[in-house]
Structures are given as structure tokens and as C-alpha cells.
Structure 1
Amino acid sequence: MRATVYHGKCDVRIDQVPDPQIKEPGDAIVRVTHACICGSDLWPYRGMDQYQEGWRLGHEFMGMVEEVGKDVHTIKPGDRVISPFTYSDGTCEFCQKGLYTSCLHGSIWGGAANDGGQAEAVRVPMADGTLVKIPEEASNDEKLLKSILPLTDVMGTGHHAAVCAGVTQGGTVAIIGDGAVGLCGVLAAKRLGAERIIVLGHQPKRLAIAKSFGATDIVEERDAEAIARVQDLTKGGAHAVLECVGTKAAMDMAIDVARPGGGVGYVGAPHGSENLKFSRLFMQNISLRGGIAPVRAYIPDLLKDVIAGKIDPSPVLDMTVDLNGVPSGYAAMDKREAIKVMVQPQK
């Protein structure tokens, strides 16, 4: 089969790789119909992560079940399923607490050992604990499937940021970052009842989507001017702040615009943000929660709301390619010509 393989900085290729096979009784083989390129995929693409030549790429996908092992009971061949960006057994201590990304036996897609989602097919270990069946009424609706696809990662991650930040009914929220996660954070904050949603960003197309998703205020200033603007708009800071970038500048900004006694929910993959402004966190009693999002815990409820038409994150998917177009999709996202690329391997 064909799959996306890393070959070096700014060099991803579509290579022939072995077809996936059932190896364990809990495995399933999924033929990928929809996948994504993630903003976090750009870290290795730009040579900023310790990715090695030959490793697979892609951790967001949906598709059709083609084969299952003898111990798989919740799905069957012919089912359309969605996968979170990590796989998990669903039974360990942490899965039972809803912390699927800390599963004792799980891992993330791609890399050295696992199939990547930007491919024609994927072997899914622990399929019962990982995959979620898409209801029949949505399984053949292409428009609805595009709306469901962000639940593999960015919608669940934006929701995790909102939950960790403590977004409440009637509260004021500030969102750092206008990428796909930040934009989905707007939807999540609106869904949780926030009255005022302030987005800090600089890309006109993205900010237009933020407004359509429910943002009430846009802050385009930078650095100290941005902090002063948010402090002025909120008369002292936001109750909840969503950090959706991962850089030190973004984390510092999130802490600086938080209201005393408020909270920061951080979901940006850390790249230089390890040294925090602990003095402000301490002196202003600002809470800090977040991390890699356990999106498997959120998919069922978010899936219901997408199917019911209550939320639609599909506008973040502003470019579509087939599998051969994946390298150009990476280049477009790297140059900020696309927010998030949808991949349809079977076209």
C-alpha cells in the first residue's frame, strides 16, 4: 500500500510500504477514507523534532473496517469508524479515568513502530478501546463526515483546553492562537456557555472563521500591546485562557492575560515553553491545567453534537488533497496557505 513517510526536513514522500496485517486478536484493519495533516506534524517537517528517516506520519483518520481479530467485539467489517490520535486499551487504570492518552499499553500513530493515518490503510491495535463507530445516519453523508473528521484531534484538543481552563456559563475566555486547535477552542468555549470569547491572532482568514464560530472580540496587537488590550477589554483579565500554540511566547501571553484566580488550559505541544512565569501564577492564584488531550474520552459527546448540527468544525479544513498531494499539503500549511489539510487517500 501507499503511505506518507518522513525522509528529512521539508521532505515527506508517498512510499510503498507493506500492507497492514492482523497481528494480535484485538487488532482491526481500517481502510482510510479521510485523514488530516496536523499542525503538530509541522514540527518534524521543519526539522524541529527528533524524527528519523523512514518513520510514518499522520495521526488523524477515519475509515472503513475491513478485517478484525477474533477478540474484537464492538466493531465489524463494513463499519465506518473514527480514531482518536492515540490508540488505547480502554481498560487500564488511566483509560478508566478517561485519561486515554496515558494508557499503559497505548501509543500515538506513526513514528518508528506504528502505522500512520496518512496512508491507504492502518492496523489498529486494541480496536475495541480505540475506535468509535460512526452512526449509520452519518456514515454516507460526505458533508457530515468532513464535520466529524476534526474530532480525531483538533476539536477534542480545543475542547480539552476549554475544560482545563475552567470555561463556565457566562464567563470570559481568551484564546491564544488562531490555528485549527485555537479555532476549535472557540467552538468549545461557545458550547460550554462562554459569554465573551477573545481570540488573539493575526491571519485574516482564520480570524474570520473565529468570528463565525462565536468569537466576540479579536486582538491583533502583539506582545505587550496585546496583553494590555486584553486586560482593557476584560477589566483585569480573562476568567479562562486557552493556550493553543506551545511556544514560550504563547504560554507567557496566556499567563499574562489570565485574571487573578482564573485558569489557563494549555494544549500546545511544548516547544520552548518549559520555563513558565511561576511568579505570576503563584502571586495571582492562576491555575494551570492541560496537556495532551484524551480525545477518545470526548468523541462520543462531540460526535452527537456534530450529527445534531450543534457544532461544525469543518471550516478549519480549508484544503483537500489525495494521497499524492500530501507533500504539497505540508508545504501549504508550512507557508500558512492552509489552516488544516484534509486527505482523502482513496480519491
Structure 2
Amino acid sequence: MKTNTGRFFEDFTLGETIRHATPRTLTVGDQALYTALYGSRFAVASSEHFAQAIGYKRAPLDDLLVFHTVFGKTVPDVSLNAVANLGYAEGRFLAPAYPGDTLWSISEVIGLKESSNGETGVVYVRTTGFNQNGERVLSYCRWVLVRKRDGASPAPEPHVPTLADAVQASEIARHAPPLTIDSYDFDLAGSADRFSDYETGEKIDHVDAMTVEEAEHQLATRLYQNTARVHFDGMAAAQGRFGKRLIYGGHVISLARALSFNGLANAFTVAAINSGRHVAPLFAGDTVSAWSEVLETCPLVGRDDIGALRLRTVATKNRACADFPFKDGDRYAEGVILDLDYWVLMPR
């Protein structure tokens, strides 16, 4: 059989390594298209002059464009037959990627656990993205609920990996690029607020909102070469759980990050993803809003130029965030679609 129908749960083996197809050379055109899709305004990824003034060799690619591209490589081998992408952990942005860099990825299966219904199972993978020189630019773990080909097939011995609750600040400092913050122009960046202006427990309503159109998420997911059927195949989606195409969860992450500019304009790069959960689905026509809480402020050892903020960003659909919707008891509040815990870097 020459065509690829995707892996089912019983096709994964604990400890196996999967080398994913189709390296992707990203250009300034990809960066421009990414900006057109989300409207992100962070100065470092927007301006060659701004980036070079503080020590980058040129404007780097948006961190999440890199994440989605590396993620997209894995879909045909990991999640083509997924029911849902369940979560992320231990995400580390290890080096800037620039226009002209070619990204490719490898995944290791680090956990398997059959579901109690016997029809699905959870697959845990650790994915590493590399550039054309073999240098690591990104590493993260994710776990996915995948269909079984045959519900009667025997289950593997369950193994659930132990994953860190958060990336340590010491690791962030090790991978953060050296910068000339004296040349950082706060006017051009869009805000005077720097690291010392944020406090643990502070909540920020990002105020703005974006309505998602069908064409946007279709174009975005194709940009990342993400082949998941639930995003593209209207006939298949009509017979599925929701009856229509589902918007890629990463699209929500990028929307939330772009919206966070209003309140976090100087959070110029994402350093790590500690955890993430897609709480509820998003569909075309829904309007996305977001708010963030500062979970931790961390001066980086040996760095007097930048500090790290640990943020929780919560995205909602069809609901403003002035009241900071999050949880009602043990359950997420109505309208919450994303709960993302991550580190950003900010000038001191």
C-alpha cells in the first residue's frame, strides 16, 4: 500500500524514534503570511532594524511559527488519526530561527496508555526540531488521544512518562541569546513597561478580540503543512463528534499570543512552554479574547539585561475577559478554550 492512512494506537512502540518527512525552509514570505493571519506586533520579529539593534543577526522568525512548523511535520506520523491533542509540557525554545533556515523534526515515543473504552489510547511523544546545521531550535512533549484500528487488539503495557510541571528558569537563562538591551527602544516596542513593572499575581485583560474566519485557519494550517483531516475534510468532519471542521489548537495559541501584545508588548520572545491544554473546541465564526496572569517573576542568574515572566494566558470564545474567566470550582468556566502556561523574556 503506497498511500499513508496514518498510524493507529497499536502502531506505536515505546521508545521508537520517528524521523518526520518534508523539511521546510521558512522565508520572509512565511513570516509575512503569519503576520497577516494573526496581526502579531512584537517588534523583534517585525523589524530587522529593531532586532539587529539589540543583538540578533536579523529579525528572527516568530517563535510560534517555528513551533507550528515543527509540529506540522509530526502530524502525518503521530496524530493523523487523533481524536484530540490533549496537552503539552517541557517546551523549550533552544535557539532563534531565521528566514532561510530549514526546519525538520524527530519524535520519540515516550509513553503509551490504552483508554478504558478500548477504542483509543494516549500516545506521548517528545519532538525535537532542528535547523539545516543539525542545531536544535525547539523541543517539546505532547500527548494525543489516538484511535485504535481494532478495539480487540491487545494493549501494550501502560507507561505514562513523568514530565516536569515547569521548565526551570536556569534552563531559560542558558538558552537566552545575549542582547544589547541598552539599545532597546521602548517607544518603538509599543510600551514603557519592563520586567520590574510586573508583579506575581497580576492579571491583565488584553481587551482586544479577533473573530476567526474559515479561510484563515485553513490557510494557517496549510502553511504549517499540518495534514490532520479534522481541519480540512468537511465530509469527514460532518460525520464526526462536532459535525464540522475543527480549528487547529495551535491557531488559538497564536491568536492569544498576538492579543497579549496589548499589555505585554515587551515580552519579545517565548522562552518555554510549561504546559498547555485545549479546553474546548473553536470553530469558524467564533470570536477569541484573552487575558494573562503573572505566575512568577524571575531575574535570570548572570543576566542583567533580561528577566523571565512565567505567564498563564487564558483564551475564550465569544466571551470578553474583563472578569478574567477561568474556572468554576474544578471545571473551566463557560467559553474558556485555552489554558497556556509559558515563560517569556522581557528587558529589565
Compute the TM-score of the two structures, normalised by the length of structure 1: 0.23
Instruction: Name the structure with the higher strand share.
Output: 2
Instruction: Name the structure with the higher helix share.
Output: 1
